[in-house]
Amino acid sequence: MSARRISLGILVAGAACLAGRWLDAAEATRPNIVVVLADDLGYGDLHCYNPQRGKIPTPNLDRLASQGMRFTDAHSSSGVCSPSRYTLLTGRYHWRTRLQTGIVDVFGEPLIAPDRLTIASLARQRGYRTAAIGKWHLGWDWPIEPSQRPFIQGVSQPGKVEDAPLATAEHRAVWREVFSKPIGGGPTTRGFDHYFGTDVPNWPPYCFIEDDRTVGIPTQFLPSENFQHHLATLQGPAIEGWKLNEILPALADRAVAFIMESAKSTEPFFLYLPLTSPHTPLAVNEPWRGKSGLNTYADFVMETDAAVGRVLEAIDKSGAAERTLVVFTSDNGYAPYIGVADLEGKGHYPSGPLRGYKGDAWEGGHRVPFVVRWPGVVQSGSVCHQLVHHADLMATLAEILNVKLPDNAAEDSFSLLPLLRGEDRAVREHAVSCAVNGMPALRSGPWKLILGPGGGGFLRGHETQGVQLYNLAEDLGETNNLAAKEPGRVAAMQALMEELIGNGRSTPGAKQKNDVEVRRFPREPVRPHTPAKTGGVAKGSELFSAKAGEAK
């Protein structure tokens, strides 16, 4: 062989080796991504977040935290479901949309605009296989004509089990026509290649949805025994034999199958797993009934932990663990109307050291567990005390995937990558989280301004009048309102809130338009109220009713 051929062979081999290194580097920037979103799991429900006053064993989630980074100052965009999901998926505060208060209603329209970038569409642009498995609750373009609405929704559930509504032939004809059509505007139109789940587990339709079709056609109303003891909330169409306790295991089965299948592909995968638990319906399966020794909710937290354990085990068994980024969090705090007095009386405090619960602008409404595991990047057993927000997932993934975000996307998202790499510095100076009634809480460093009285959530009583100012570095439990003593700081933070609204963004970049005129707070006058008992649903509100309270 000539020297020239030998040199050429060395050159080709070297180029191939170099190309292999480039390929490895490229693949390293595209980790598999799994985002698990629990529903109504309180800050103090994970034992690793609440070791002194947390009585529910959560071994799988505690182990995940020990393998990654646990954030102690992470927040959802709202104290309730739909708005938090919008922000997590888009990197944009929900209050820039039409959803100024409450949640997306039953059979409601899509909240995410068709042209809005989501973390799923971002991943798909970079060659990911994407799937959403679980609870959507962000609206669909349901193929329901106005004349069909009375047969689809608005059916009340009688108080007596024996008085269950009966589906007529006309009901079944309408249901057959509606649910045999594709449903537009759902996850597969917002960046996901595949969807499987229940839109809202305690609302109709009581069936699974796969991609854009219901799995089966409802033929009956949900039997009345399913409306007892914090199970389903709203009556409506159901497929025959629908079992509420089978929802969570089915989601775990699908998630495991997606991971095992996707790990065999050369493409990276992105899985968004919005669990239906431990939100109502508290349909606990036999192995977990009574296991906590506390109450049904605590049993359901344990079953939720086990379901996440199955997903983590699948990642390990698939061989993908070393190249998979896992995020675990919750959409908001613990729902107080399902037995908070019972739990706290037995020594378990679902909000940990925080004031308030689901629905509140107080910390217990929106400070949530947030755990990230990423082998080779995130140090095992690390803890981060910096302020972070669900909105930050978008900018984080964009930086990981080397994507420059356009000005009209992720307007409120800051990258967490420096924190994940171990830097201890603020990545965001401020953040906004809202109560169910729309009242915002603005963080600026350790200071927190709530632009109105009380928590704005489901429980009433002990409200302050006017705005509230707390120094969370000294008063995490929000017991000492400093607004009267710090009028200058209150005014400066109110001006900051107005700036965040007016700019249409909180990140650097060109000004953007909000979808609607943003509702301002505080609202005047402050209406008188009648305190509700602990564990009850707020009464007399213009924003929600006792009927819908558990659905939020």
Give per-residue pLDDT as tens, 299-311: 999 999 999 999 9
Evaluated on CA atoms 137, 452, 75, 249, the torsion sign reads negative
What the block records as the tokens of 431 is 């953040």
Average pLDDT of the segment spanning 92-96: 98
Strands lying side by side in the sheet with 430-434: 430-434, 440-444, 447-450, 468-471
pLDDT value at position 500? Answer: 98
Judge whether residue 13 has pLDDT over 50.
no
CA separation, residue 12 to residues 5, 17, 21 (Å): 10, 9, 14
Average pLDDT of the segment spanning 279-303: 97
Tell me the C-alpha distance between 523 and 143, whole Å.
Answer: 37
One-letter identity of residue 510: A
Residue 165 pLDDT level (bands cut at 50, 70, 90): confident
Angle at 93 between CA 516 and CA 384, to 5 degrees: 170
Of 455, 511, 451, the closest CA to residue 478 belongs to 455
Of 28, 24, 67, 79, the closest CA to residue 327 belongs to 67
Evaluated on CA atoms 402, 404, 410, 415, the torsion sign reads positive
pLDDT value at position 132? Answer: 98
Are the C-beta atoms of residues 357 and 333 closer than 8 Å to each other? yes
pLDDT value at position 14? Answer: 43
pLDDT value at position 7? Answer: 44
pLDDT value at position 523? Answer: 83
pLDDT value at position 153? Answer: 79
- Mean of per-residue pLDDT scores for the chain: 90
Q: What is the pLDDT of residues 55-80, one digit of tens each?
A: 999 999 999 999 999 999 999 999 99
pLDDT value at position 164? Answer: 72
Judge whether residue 167 has pLDDT over 50.
yes
pLDDT value at position 374? Answer: 98
Residue 158 pLDDT level (bands cut at 50, 70, 90): low
Average pLDDT of the segment spanning 379-403: 98
Please state the pTM of the whole predicted model: 0.90
Q: What is the pLDDT of residues 104-143, one digit of tens each?
A: 999 999 999 999 999 999 999 999 999 999 999 999 999 9
Judge whether residue 11 has pLDDT over 90.
no
Average pLDDT of the segment spanning 504-522: 97
Tell me the C-alpha distance between 145 and 360, whole Å.
Answer: 36
Q: What is the pLDDT of residues 28-50, one digit of tens each?
A: 579 999 999 999 999 999 999 99
Q: How many CB atoms are located within 10 Å of the residue 379 CB?
A: 13
Phi, psi of 177 (to 5 degrees): -70, -45
Sort strands 447-450 and 440-444 into parallel, antiparallel or unpaired.
Answer: antiparallel
Contacts of 453 (CB under 8 A, 6+ apart): 463, 464, 465, 466, 468, 522, 526
Q: What is the pLDDT of residues 333-369, one digit of tens each?
A: 999 999 999 999 999 999 999 999 999 999 999 999 9
Specify burial of residue 468 (Cβ count, 10 A radius: 0-12, 13-18, 19+): buried
Q: What is the pLDDT of residues 423-473, one digit of tens each?
A: 999 999 999 999 999 999 999 999 999 999 999 999 876 566 789 999 999
Judge whether residue 542 has pLDDT over 80.
no
CA separation, residue 520 to residues 89, 451, 453 (Å): 24, 9, 14
Tell me the C-alpha distance between 482 and 446, whole Å.
Answer: 13
